[in-house]
Structure formats: structure tokens, C-alpha cells
Amino acid sequence: MSLIFNVLPFVFLFSSYYNVWVEKTRCAWAETADLKMVAYHDTEYGVRREGLNECFEVVCLEAFQAGLSWRTILHKREAFREVFFGFEPARVAAMTDDDVLRLCEAD
């Protein structure tokens, strides 16, 4: 019983700081109603990529982003994954000129 009385003051002391510990702090660009942007910020932004496909995807998406907003790229990411074979470098490297022309003509 005395253990509870010894620990209880610390619980109250630190409970006021609890919200500071668990709340996420977001960058200004992620403070938006766009759930894809928020999810990207909270789960991917600043996270180290380990796999070859993941790294290749980031490099490709950054290249596509030139002149566009990241929001635009993020909303089209699934389409990019589909046409670039899940960003498998060997499969993308094996694309022919006809494949590239087909993609350029697609909507």
C-alpha cells in the first residue's frame, strides 16, 4: 500500500506532460485536411528507406515532382507504381521505347 502512495505523486506530476509526449508535431505543410499528406508525413517523411525498390521509388517520385506539388505526386503514386512495375529497377530498365511512348500517350 505504501508503494502506491510513494508512486502516486509522480503519476500526477508526469500526467500533465503526457500529452506532450504522445502528440505528434507536424511540419506546417502537413497541417492539412488532405489525409494522404498527413499519413505520408506521419509514416514516411524522414523515415530511412532500406529496400532497393523503396529507394528507387523515392528517387523517381522526386524527379516527377519537379515543377509539381508533392501533393500531386502523392495522389498519383499508385498510378506510378502500376506503370513502373512497383518501381522494380530491373523491370523499368527493361522498358522499351514503345513502352515509354505508350505511357506518354496515356491519360
Q: Which residues form the catalytic set?
A: 40, 62, 70
Which CA distances in Å does 15 have to 9, 12, 25, 61? 10, 5, 19, 42
Q: Name the amino acid, one letter, at 1.
A: M
How many angstroms separate the CA atoms of 68 and 87, rounded? 20
